[in-house]
Structure 1
Amino acid sequence: MWSLLLLHPFWNLVLSCILLISAFPGADASDISIAVSNMTLTATKFTPEVLLTAPRRSPAIPNAKGTKALFTVTTYSFETHRKTSQIRLLDVESGQSTLLVDDLSASEPTWIGDDEFLYLKSGEKGNTTVLVDKIARPGSQAYEVTTIKARISNIKIKELTNGTVAFVCSASATPDGQLSNPATAKKPYSSAKVYTSLFVRHWDEWLGEDKNSLWYTALEKKNGRFTLTGHGLVNALAGSKLESPVPPFGGTGDFDISPTGLVFVAKDPELNPALYTKTDLYYVPLKTFTEEQPPSPQIVETPGLEGYTNSPVFSHCGRKVAFTRMRSKQYESDKPRLMLLPDIGDLSKTEEFFATDDGEGAWDYRPETILWSADDKSLYVTAEKNARVHLWEVPSNPADARDTPSVIMTADGSVNDIRLLAEADSSSKLLVTSTSLVDNSCYSIVDPSANTTDILSSNSKQGKTFGLSRSSIGDITFKGAGDYDVHALVVRPSNFDEKKKYPLCFLIHGGPQGAWQDGWSNRWNPAVFAEQGYVVVSPNPTGSTGYGMALQNGIKGQWGGRPYEDLVKAFEHIEENMPYVDTDRAVALGASYGGYMINWIQGHPLGRKFKALVCHDGVFSTLNQWSTEELFFPIHDFEGTIYDNRAGYEKWDPAQHVNEWATPQLIIHSELDYRLPITEGLAPFNVLQSKGIPSKLVMFPDENHWVLKPENSLVWHEQVLAWINKYSGVEKETQEVREMAVVEDKRQKPM
């Protein structure tokens, strides 16, 4: 019956509407029409098109009373080849949402009262307009606060004691500290770029003279409308050589504001960012946020800790700051330590939570997001454990944090944002945004005191809109290469039958200090592969985060050693313990370090276990790691520079084993990937072609380390799935099912 439905577009559309209406019980007509117009295929089967056209929601931001929440939703249509973007209002009691702004140029909605919100609108010539609107009559009462002749982003606001509102944002600054606007800047006649020091390009761009900076001003309300006070935007970092947010991924998590001033994270200007990871916490005292000349940033001291600093957050009283800090200045994945600055008036005294005499710390997990409770007595912290990002509660005084924290119950999957539901409510209920392997956005209300969670709104009705469910998700644990266990996530097809056998799809994660998580991904989504007819196994071997620092740090100097042996053990475990998995038709895929491992596997016995391999932006030769931009990465992982420890690089070089390569392989690489330049994709393709091994190269000239553009992502999925389906036999099986459905359809039609 279902196979026949898939052949009839009319019934697909009808079923799509039914599924979408049931998934959004409080949705209005605009909700449903948007979803239907953008989901080009029905969710009877979770396909790449469904993945890429599914509405994407931002975290929900509650107002001060906790009755409403703002969020954005973006969609993409392969029919119109256009993106849409909306600002929406969520009613916390009913879970229903209403449309506030329907404008692709509108972004970053922020509460500026219980019934008013502020947002940005990008315009022509690189300008940005700041608008304020009311939730009661959206659109009809929106008014302009100011227009800034530059692109601004990452806005934060805070009410001050004098009744004004502090406004801070990020924007690019010229070398002399002025707002930078590339759209109106004079263009040079030559395209030459000249450098005399390290760090000439980063992620996907060649570096220029302009730098990120933080800008402040204040807003005051006159005659019912907010206006700018003082002298407009002031560069808080002017003349300091500091840059914040830290590129390429820094945002609002790199700074915070309070009535006492501004704290922010910035790289140490005295250390070359290509060689060192050190970022420090700085404080700029501000009383009115109208100061024309800001005080010089003051550094917060953390003796013995010299690595990345992240997530600074002021307490509600405005005198304390919680943040994280790493120890090593050349290890980007070192363990973050939860830190406290007890008094903003004394920047020389900071305290570490769970500190131990040996410096390792008693809590073996990695704190990320930090939120103060309403009474400032607790910190709510997110940290990864066993492939899930959990929520934890910690006393806000390090002296009281004697026991390691326990997990607070949240919705299935991984937490990616936490907010106080109502700032004035001492109960400290939280509005939590999370995702899972079957749901791309879930809003829930969490009560830490009762350790309960209530789902408020699920974007996909917990996977049902996509035809997915938690019953398809599982875990396995097996012995690794040493005296430790290795964990893997398992995703089965939605129509799984344990009496049948399904080819294995073996996914290898990047990082290498990373992990497959029970969380949504728009780039590497296991459900897309599972719905093709695979059992997907995603191991987290040596080097993976979330299983303690010993397992994570075990990859140092071991790139092709312990992780490879763990993957061999994983394959053997699947062969011996999962009878419904057909390992004779297995395929393996990996990106970044996972791509390195695909190339390493090609030259080793495990490579002969797979019918086909897929390498996305991988490493062909470890000797070429010095063509990357952040050199501290290979210096740490290969235990030295290439000139001091060449043998350490050569030991784990996939190019040393190309004589053993034999398995068909698809290679995907992008021109703007400056972390792993495109030659790392061209070289293995040339080897495969020269040896007569079936191979294909897919290149994206306008993508970086990730394929992000929807049209490109669709091609990526089509190429990857076609490749593995061909060699695993899934393509043949699919064709046979289609032919049988056509025969059945003809048989049932009257003569």
Structure 2
Amino acid sequence: MKQVNLLLMSAAMTLAACGGTKDAGQAGAPLIERSDIKIEGKRMTPEALWAMGRIGGVAVSPDEKQIAYTVAYYSVPENKSNREVFVMNTDGTENKQITRTPWQENEVTWIKGGTKLAFLSNESGSSQLWEMNPDGSGRKQLTQYDGDLEGYSFSPDGKKLLFIAQVQTKQSTAEKYPDLPKATGIIVTDLMYKHWDEWVTGAPHPFVADFDGNGISNIKDILEGEPYESPMRPWGGIEQLAWSPAGDKVAYTCRKKTGLAYAISTNSDIYIYDLATQKTENITEENKGYDTNPQYSPDGKYIAWQSMERDGYEADLNRLFIMNLETGEKRFVSKAFESNVDGFLWNKDSKSIYFIGVWHGETQIYNIDLAANDKVTQLTDGMYDYASLALAGDKIIAARHSMSMGDEIYAVAATRSGDAFAEVKQLTFENKQIYDQLEMGKVEARWMKTTDGKQMLTWVIYPPQFDPNKKYPTLLFCEGGPQSPVSQFWSYRWNFQIMAANDYIIVAPNRRGLPGFGVEWNEAISGDYGGQCMKDYFTAIDEMAKEPFVDNDRLGCVGASFGGFSVYWLAGHHDKRFKAFIAHDGIFNMEMQYLETEEKWFANWDMGGAYWEKQNPVAQRTFANSPHQFVDKWDTPILCIHGEKDYRILANQAMAAFDAAVMRGIPAELLIYPDENHWVLKPQNGILWQRTYFEWLDKWLK
């Protein structure tokens, strides 16, 4: 009954948000109250997770008195989502939902001096730019572009529009053979024919157009005739483009390579396009790694961007650079912070920069004082991850989440007072009615001594109402990336609180090869997938197994991506520690992965080279440690999960692992999604994932 009730609740809530009520589309139309959501048993369920609203982008009004933001709602029965727009004062008061439509409203911004809100909507059948009043009335379509707008930014004076749209860069089969219009074959002549979850036929380009307040004209493709991407797939958006304060130039991120050259290189650059002369300048040509996400200083004297030093290493230290636009001098300003700059924002006075970065398993807000030898000051503290930054008066508006709560919006004082960290105030309470009905498990930080004498931070998450006198089944969580931090992240699939709610203890180590513990720690995994990082996993689970409340006869091991590789590898090396494994989108056969994956730079760097390089000791060590080489030692039940639209790690990896287990006589199960990529994004598939996950664990560990 509990699942049915929550499914119906999720449907009703989303139906109202999507315009399912009689007054849909009118500002002020009734929406089902969040207090109507009832959860039995105070334990997190998959349905409760999918009932939660998910906060998106935030925009501060020009007068800094209001904040607009979006929230996505999901319907499990309808198997779809919808995104709506909210507006509140910058102190969190007068929070109102201003859209209730069956369409997606995305990327909301303030325009026309704050009198209007611009947003992307698919109301007309494609993603176009619209505007409305701050109360949701007066909706008006501003663009009628032949194609979807994927992102946009108005010039500072509001007279021009910069937007992203796809252009065709590859000839289709039907164009080559017009007499075969129904042929489905794809003719491939070079690499990068697939990327992430799509067959590549085009590229996103930045366009500039005149804007008269009602529509656009004189559209110009900045990369006209060039087959390159800007922004770059698969993650890049409007943050990879930037207007100069004078509105006469556009800075953009681009890797001007195609085919094999693209597939083996991360060497992107920051280009500056002059609207008057239509000339382009590369300002980072000397740097051979990633250069991304340019931002001009408010006074127009500097430009800042994120930069990695080495070509082919996508997990290199992500540094913050600035350039004096008059002298051309460049400076590495985040040198005092030995971790990645994950996002940044200029202060209004152009004398300092705020940024977010992970250190010791937490992502905090920092400030770099450019006038004080680039001094770095930490503004926030606590077991949280901050994300996204905007300024409103003397406050920073940021999203924040933890292992116990999804994103909400907070106001953070822009400066510290003495030794105290900045004052923080929560502004939104999107899912309060759900959280108030749930009992969350305790999250604890433990430092453990590794086999090589280092100290490793491990997060331990306990079940609600944890009783130290009982014995609990315990799960080792293996992180993906492989160089993604085990910080205070919140996931709607790999959610530690739902695992804890099912009476499992979770052990989540920041093993070797993760950022936030210095460059040496982060880089220790490259070319050594079967080395110290695996010893670190054993350290974490063996240390916890000493606790009297951990049942050593009921240990499980789970993970996705590199975490899935870890599961497959540990299955052949665990010496009977574990009683159940779950691998999602993992690498099973590294020789095949080297050839199958699309971004060859990743495989080249992480694996140390190609498997046919017989004189390359790093590469030979890598491929000798491929999990498929140790199937003869598999002895433990395993569940393999994969999406067939995952072109980073192909689904045949999971199929091969499953087949190998069955042929060895080992209990195994395979969950394949024909329509999912490296993640599971559809609501019903998400519910299926959780049910299958816990059914498997419960079968072998309870």
Return the TM-score normalized by structure 1: 0.84
Moved more, 676-685 or 445-454: 445-454
Name which of 194, 209, 214 aligns with 2:206: 214
1:48-447 → structure 2 map (5 Å cutoff)? 48-103=46-101, 104-112=103-111, 113-123=113-123, 127-136=126-135, 138-139=136-137, 141-160=138-157, 164-175=158-169, 188-208=181-201, 210-220=202-212, 226-228=213-215, 230-231=217-218, 233-258=219-244, 259-269=247-257, 272-286=261-275, 295-301=278-284, 303=286, 305-343=287-325, 348-353=328-333, 361-396=335-370, 400-403=372-375, 405-409=376-380, 412-422=383-393, 427=394, 429-447=395-413
Is there any run of 5+ residues in structure 2 with no aligned partner, and where?
14-26, 417-421
Task: Tell me how far 1:40 sits from its aligned partner.
Answer: 7.6
For residues 261 and 191 of structure 1, what CA distance do their matches in structure 2 show?
42
Contact residue 41 and residue 49 of structure 1 kept, 8 A: no
Describe the shift of the 1:32–1:538 C-alpha distance in structure 2 as closer, same or farther (beyond 3 A): farther
Matched residue SS, 1:552: helix
For residues 7 and 268 of structure 1, what CA distance do their matches in structure 2 show?
50
For residues 30 and 425 of structure 2, what CA distance do their matches in structure 1 show?
23
For residues 543 and 267 of structure 1, what CA distance do their matches in structure 2 show?
26
Contact residue 640 and residue 669 of structure 2 kept, 8 A: yes
Q: Residue type matched to 1:49 in 2?
A: E
Where does residue 19 of structure 2 map in the other structure? Answer: none
Where does residue 551 of structure 1 map in the other structure? Answer: 521
Task: Tell me how far 1:297 sits from its aligned partner.
Answer: 2.3
Matched residue SS, 1:676: coil
Task: Tell me how far 1:298 sits from its aligned partner.
Answer: 1.3
Task: Tell me how far 1:176 sits from its aligned partner.
Answer: 10
Task: Tell me how far 1:534 sits from its aligned partner.
Answer: 0.8
Describe the shift of the 1:77–1:175 C-alpha distance in structure 2 as closer, same or farther (beyond 3 A): closer
Q: Residue type matched to 2:250 in 1?
A: L
For residues 442 and 711 of structure 1, what CA distance do their matches in structure 2 show?
25
Contact residue 245 and residue 251 of structure 1 kept, 8 A: yes
Q: Is 1:620 the equivalent of 2:593? A: no
Is there any run of 5+ residues in structure 1 with no aligned partner, and where?
18-27, 221-225, 288-293, 355-360, 730-751
Q: Residue type matched to 1:295 in 2?
A: Q
Describe the shift of the 1:132–1:9 C-alpha distance in structure 2 as closer, same or farther (beyond 3 A): closer
For residues 299 and 143 of structure 1, what CA distance do their matches in structure 2 show?
38
Moved more, 314-323 or 525-534: 314-323
Task: Tell me how far 1:236 sits from its aligned partner.
Answer: 1.4
Contact residue 111 and residue 117 of structure 1 kept, 8 A: yes
Q: Residue type matched to 2:114 in 1?
A: D
Describe the shift of the 1:430–1:402 C-alpha distance in structure 2 as closer, same or farther (beyond 3 A): closer
- 1:542-575 Cα offsets, whole Å, 9 max, x none, are 1112111111111122111101111111112102
CA RMSD in angstroms, aligned pairs only: 2.8
For residues 341 and 220 of structure 2, what CA distance do their matches in structure 1 show?
33
How many residues get paired?
666
Matched residue SS, 2:436: helix
For residues 555 and 117 of structure 2, what CA distance do their matches in structure 1 show?
52
Where does residue 611 of structure 1 map in the other structure? Answer: 579
Task: Tell me how far 1:108 sits from its aligned partner.
Answer: 1.9
For residues 527 and 381 of structure 1, what CA distance do their matches in structure 2 show?
28
Q: Residue type matched to 1:254 in 2?
A: Q
For residues 203 and 439 of structure 1, what CA distance do their matches in structure 2 show?
29
Contact residue 3 and residue 47 of structure 2 kept, 8 A: no
Where does residue 656 of structure 1 map in the other structure? Answer: 629
Where does residue 668 of structure 2 map in the other structure? Answer: 695
Matched residue SS, 1:620: coil
Task: Tell me how far 1:201 sits from its aligned partner.
Answer: 1.0
Matched residue SS, 1:536: strand
Task: Tell me how far 1:312 sits from its aligned partner.
Answer: 1.1
- 1:590-638 Cα offsets, whole Å, 9 max, x none, are 11111111111111134x1111100111111111122111111121122
Name which of 549, 561, 564 aligns with 1:595: 564
Contact residue 35 and residue 433 of structure 2 kept, 8 A: no
Contact residue 440 and residue 459 of structure 1 kept, 8 A: no
Return the TM-score normalized by structure 2: 0.89
Where does residue 564 of structure 1 map in the other structure? Answer: 534
For residues 634 and 243 of structure 2, what CA distance do their matches in structure 1 show?
55
Contact residue 169 and residue 227 of structure 2 kept, 8 A: no
Contact residue 640 and residue 658 of structure 2 kept, 8 A: yes
Task: Tell me how far 1:679 sits from its aligned partner.
Answer: 1.3
Contact residue 612 and residue 724 of structure 1 kept, 8 A: yes
Q: Residue type matched to 1:55 in 2?
A: G
